[in-house]
Structure 1
Amino acid sequence: MRHTESIDSTEVLKQAVQLMRRHGTSMHPVHYAIWYEYARGENLDLRNAIDRYLSQHLHLDDAVAEALHKRHVVGSGTDPAMLRRMSDSVSSVLGQIADSAARAGDQTAAYGSSLSRFQDGLNGREPLPGLEEIVATTRQMHSAIQDLQRRLADSRDEIGQLRDELDRVRLETLTDMLTGLANRRAFEQRLAACVTLAASAGLHSHAPCLLMADLDHFKRINDTYGHGTGDQVLCAVAAALKAGTPEQGLAARIGGEEFVLLLPAMQLPAARMLAEQLRHAVAQLRVPARTPTGGETAIQVTLSMGLTTLQRGETGRQLIERADQALYQSKSGGRDRVTVKAG
């Protein structure tokens, strides 16, 4: 499958490069990305936007390309793995071209040197017909190949920039930008992987636990102290959760004041102990804030939590629903507590 994907990506890349040449597009990372997506044919909104623009203008300038990239590539939910494969394909093809150009340059230079030595060896004899023209043409070829190598080197630098940009985009698509935790998308991807592993390897040693946590009375904090202070509270809680999450676990923010911890291969009793430790750690937080009258205070926050573990034959959605039910029981039972719902 990996080999097939590589071939498909390379074919798409060739089409993208042809489109860029046809429309006089500059070799820039953003242009690579949008024309690659255009050539794939799956991002219909991008294709329609480009077609509409080109029907009225001669070419895409950098500003328009940047806007299209942000709206239809970065903001479209494009698969980060696909973006990485696209970058790798571009790098691979350019690498092959550069290697071929380097070999051709070396061979041409060697051939030119041989011709020059042969010409010098004539020592004033009658020159062979066309020899001077062959030597001059060979030198021109060598110069052209050297120029190609320079341009390929510049393109490879641009691809390096593209890879960095795609890495940044991938990070942004999987990260909650306020707290730095994983976001809902990252959580759902990891959960799907955990469920698949549990189904294939057996629940005995691979059943994940899921802990859902919700800040108590968070709306009151926002209403009293403002959303800026509310953001500080969220960041403080996120830092406490991240610090207490095991190495193989995942802490994520999936909603306004709602967090989850995915704990792969952790037994329920151990997960409950961890949940209590995290609840206690959050309760010890004191977030500085200004009162409505201008005074200073420190906000104390608490978490309500619901904990469960994957059951045989369950989907990720069923696991989430049961954890959410346990969280609701913690809320209705007085808040600042952990409720365990095993099955």
Structure 2
Amino acid sequence: MKNTENVERAADIVREALNLMRKYSVPMHPVNYAVWHAYASGDNLELRNAIDRYMLQHLTLDEAATEVLYRRHVIGNSADPALLQRMSERMSSALGQAVESAARAGDQTAAYGSSLSRFQDGLAGQALPGLEEILATTRQMQAAIQALQRQLGDSRQEIGQLRDELERVRQENLTDTLTGLPNRRAFEQRLAACMTLAASAGMNSHAPCLLMLDIDHFKRVNDSYGHGTGDQVLCTVAAALQAGTPDNALAARIGGEEFVMLLPAMQLQGARLVAEQLRQKIATLRTPARSKTGAELQVQVTVSIGLTSLQRGETGRQFIERADQALYQSKHGGRDRITVRMG
């Protein structure tokens, strides 16, 4: 029964944490989940009291206050940059283990119930002292075991649903809602992992490349045709970017009309070819629109691209800034072009 109790408690804590986050419209990411999971578990009384006091005054818990509580009451003041990703992975892993535990407990309970049934069948028809009492007790045990099997099955299904819901919310938190591409947070997570891998493998000619792309004169599109058309242009460019992304690479929208493509293991020459193919493809695309007079027309856009390769010993911020500088050169050099910047 101990395994069953552990499974049910884990499910209750996860359910309560998710319900609280939904109630207060808290974004689903590892820091917020860690705080509310600790609150729901009741194991961290200092955190629970701090949240209760804060909620009495402010009615909701914003991102800044959550970060303070997380550092002060969950991990202290020395946050490991990789801790949040590991926490998210452990969260999903724990739910997966809970599902497996419920399944094993259900199988064991079913086996015990079968043994009791065989015992009952073997006793039938025998005239033994206390037999009726034994048979009655056996039937009670069978009924209890069947009820427990149903309970375990429900718990297994519920925990599985919670795990799926958590994964769905996590994915939504990493996706740009307009274009369906990964968002800035997803890009930053992938970049951090990519740089860690590059550092462990040693820098060479296959260092990661970063392509930064901006739609030319996008404000003019919004001003001339409206934001609805502007959104359609963004989706058109995003679809072309997604279609032109090589395997194991990542395309993302990081804000406004700006996109990136991270190429984890491609030579700069190959990345330059990917960028050029993308630039040419987007220039051929047309987005239906209406003029202010109501006339139907087709909107064409071009893109400016900055491209660079990760240099030895630099940070992710430096890597991104150099790609942005290359993009700036393309924008101010006439647009609809690619600039490669190495230093």
Which TM bucket (shorter chain)?
0.7 to 0.9
- Give deviations 1:164-189, integer Å, cap 9, x for gaps: 32232232122212111111111111
Give the letter aligned to residue 329 of structure 1.
Q
In structure 1, distance between residues paired with 2:55 and 2:161: 28
C-alpha displacement of 1:15:
4.4
1:275 — aligned with what? 275
**Does the Cα contact within 8 Å between 1:41 and 1:47 map onto a contact in 2?**
no
**Does the Cα contact within 8 Å between 2:206 and 2:267 map onto a contact in 1?**
no
- Identity within the alignment, %: 59
Distance 1:230 1:312, change over 3 A: same
**Does the Cα contact within 8 Å between 1:225 and 1:289 map onto a contact in 2?**
yes
In structure 2, distance between residues paired with 1:50 and 1:104: 49
Is residue 84 from structure 1 mapped to residue 89 from structure 2 by the alignment?
Answer: no
2:27 — aligned with what? none
**Following superposition of structure 1 onto structure 2, how do residues 66-85 of structure 1 map, counting pairs within 5 Å?**
80-85=88-93
1:106 — aligned with what? 114
- Give deviations 1:160-217, integer Å, cap 9, x for gaps: 3223322322321222121111111111111111111111111225411000011111
1:39 — aligned with what? 41
C-alpha displacement of 1:266:
0.9
**Does the Cα contact within 8 Å between 1:191 and 1:316 map onto a contact in 2?**
yes
C-alpha displacement of 1:96:
2.8
After TM superposition, the structure 1 stretch with the greater mean CA deviation from structure 2, 76-85 or 234-243, is 76-85
1:220 aligned counterpart, secondary structure: helix
1:66 — aligned with what? none
In structure 2, distance between residues paired with 1:149 and 1:281: 58
In structure 2, distance between residues paired with 1:233 and 1:40: 49
C-alpha displacement of 1:237:
0.2
Distance 1:32 1:153, change over 3 A: farther
In structure 2, distance between residues paired with 1:272 and 1:331: 17
Distance 1:284 1:320, change over 3 A: same
Distance 1:133 1:48, change over 3 A: farther
C-alpha displacement of 1:45:
8.5
Is residue 93 from structure 1 mapped to residue 105 from structure 2 by the alignment?
Answer: no
C-alpha displacement of 1:40:
8.2
2:62 — aligned with what? none
C-alpha displacement of 1:277:
1.3
Which aligned segments of 4 or more residues in structure 1 are displaced greater than 3 angstroms?
10-17, 29-36, 44-53, 76-80
1:231 — aligned with what? 231
1:69 — aligned with what? none
- Give deviations 1:237-271, integer Å, cap 9, x for gaps: 00111111111211110111110000111111121
After TM superposition, the structure 1 stretch with the greater mean CA deviation from structure 2, 257-266 or 155-164, is 155-164
In structure 1, distance between residues paired with 2:6 and 2:285: 52
1:247 aligned counterpart, secondary structure: coil
In structure 2, distance between residues paired with 1:291 and 1:204: 51
Distance 1:337 1:291, change over 3 A: same
Is residue 256 from structure 1 mapped to residue 256 from structure 2 by the alignment?
Answer: yes
Give the letter aligned to residue 107 of structure 2.
D
Give the letter aligned to residue 330 of structure 1.
S
Give the letter aligned to residue 282 of structure 1.
I
In structure 1, distance between residues paired with 2:53 and 2:104: 30
2:211 aligned counterpart, secondary structure: strand
1:192 — aligned with what? 192
In structure 1, distance between residues paired with 2:222 and 2:204: 44
1:64 — aligned with what? none
In structure 2, distance between residues paired with 1:50 and 1:96: 42
- Which structure has the bigger radius of gyration? 1
**Does the Cα contact within 8 Å between 2:42 and 2:48 map onto a contact in 1?**
no
1:329 — aligned with what? 329
Runs of at least 5 residues in structure 2 that lack an aligned partner in the other structure: 21-35, 57-65, 71-83
Distance 1:209 1:174, change over 3 A: same
In structure 1, distance between residues paired with 2:126 and 2:6: 51
**Does the Cα contact within 8 Å between 2:8 and 2:155 map onto a contact in 1?**
no
1:62 — aligned with what? none
2:245 — aligned with what? 245
Give the letter aligned to residue 232 of structure 1.
Q
**Following superposition of structure 1 onto structure 2, how do residues 145-164 of structure 1 map, counting pairs within 5 Å?**
145-164=145-164
**Does the Cα contact within 8 Å between 1:98 and 1:149 map onto a contact in 2?**
yes
1:305 aligned counterpart, secondary structure: strand
Please report the TM-score for the alignment, with normalisation by the length of structure 1.
0.77
In structure 2, distance between residues paired with 1:106 and 1:41: 39
Distance 1:139 1:14, change over 3 A: closer
In structure 2, distance between residues paired with 1:163 and 1:14: 14
**Following superposition of structure 1 onto structure 2, how do residues 163-174 of structure 1 map, counting pairs within 5 Å?**
163-174=163-174
Is residue 294 from structure 1 mapped to residue 294 from structure 2 by the alignment?
Answer: yes
2:278 aligned counterpart, secondary structure: helix
C-alpha displacement of 1:30:
4.5
Distance 1:293 1:80, change over 3 A: farther
2:204 aligned counterpart, secondary structure: helix
Give the letter aligned to residue 111 of structure 1.
F
Distance 1:167 1:195, change over 3 A: same
**Does the Cα contact within 8 Å between 2:307 and 2:338 map onto a contact in 1?**
yes
C-alpha displacement of 1:227:
1.3
Please report the TM-score for the alignment, with normalisation by the length of structure 2.
0.77
